[in-house]
Structure 1
Amino acid sequence: MKNNFYVDKTDTGSIELLIDAFNVRDTEFERPIRQALNLHDRSFIIFVDHLNRPTEISPIEDPFTFNTETGELVLFTEDPEVLLDAILEMAMFLRGFNTLLGEGKDWHVQLAIGAWKRVRQTLEEELLDIHQGVEWQVSLNEETVQSFDPTTFTSIVYLASAPNVSIDFPAGTSAQLIIAYQRLRRIMEGIAFEIGLNDYRTFNRRLNRAIKWVEQDIAPSFEVSPFDDLLTPEGWNPAFFADVEG
């Protein structure tokens, strides 16, 4: 398969080349992919990155991204279902939905991704005329979810971003972490509620508002305090008493 595909819905040849390259002709994916391509008002480039192809597709992380500098849609697999998801999100990207890529904290971007996925899911359900529910169950290691801190919070935003994944929290999980997960899912659903392809301004306003709410009311402090290391496994940190004269 070639690496680059120029896609323009007004150029029949470019569409047929893409359909054949991804082997979707006369399959269940051909019609929804053609419909998804028809949503595009502008031409775009699909780049298939064979070098960074994943060994398996994660139920949480999409194997595609956007090159914000070149405007390309980058795929890491030739899976037709992934192609459909990517074409829909590219339509959102070109409309003006905010990705927050390269802006703010990692969890900001992941919160945006979670809201994006829910809008995409709605668009996909309209194309396929089916309802997508929970498809994956993920179990967590108790040691990784016992505390509520910036590291575990960022991880929980990542997990909450997947609408088709259910999390099995083990006994001993931080209650704050579970509450944060539940709230984050509702927030992502709220951002995407009744958002269509042309509602990017509403989406962006909701996303920016949600980031502020999460910062104020849900996220743990990401600021480093000198008191964070006051107690060590061996007891009081002697550095705290360094200025005490004997």
Structure 2
Amino acid sequence: MTTDGNDSTKNDPENSEKKEFTGKRALVTGGSRGIGAALVRQLLDAGAEVLTTARAATSTVPQGATFVEADVRTRAGAQALAATAREVLGGVDLLVHNAGGARPHQSATAIPDEEWQDALDLNFLAAVRLDSLLAPGMREQRSGVIVHVSSAANPLTPPPFLHYTAAKAALENYSRGLAAELAPHGVRVNTVSPGRTATPGGEATREQWALIDSGPGQDTTAPPLGRDGRPDDIADAALFLMSERASWLTGSNLVVDGGEFTRG
């Protein structure tokens, strides 16, 4: 170990300019705004080539990423996106399932069948379908990372969002099983679970919830750490899980909620 400041790597321009994800090919779903856009931006900044998708483009899609409109709620949509990823990127090394969401209802029993199905398709089955199409390529190359974005609210589910958190609970269970299956092939699978985060989608959902009379209603106090999460807080956690710094982590669920939810 050198202590005199003469470590040659410190002054090597080629070494100092190398970025953490240089040469990595990343696909991020739901990357047009909020947490997804933060993920895309951070991956680009770290040297990755990024393809991102949403049902419609917005002005907040980070420059430098390739954007394609896609609806991942259907098998056909997942197949089209996987084909585009192979065409544009030549394969996928990093896969982040960030697309998600659901509309609140008066009560759990008031959620109609079609919205239960939509919540499952978007928040759970979209990941299952896309993984089934892209994980075999990772397994063949014996490397890759999959990150599923879940929700920190699962243990204390508000009834208006039961369809959403039930789908996310299924996603977490599936992630652990997929991690066990792919680990011997050099592929890691982890979950990141955000708490209340300041995003356009989150704000719109909270406004909808505020209009619903559902008992005591939502808690508007700040989490114990004193503020709502920022998109970059969640992106930081996801990038850690994708990095070599997390090379001994698979089948884990990283909760990023400022202490908002109590877990036993």
The TM tier, using the shorter chain, reads under 0.3
Relative contact order (alpha carbons < 8 A, sep ≥ 6): 1 or 2 greater?
2
TM-score by length of 2: 0.26
Larger Rg: 1
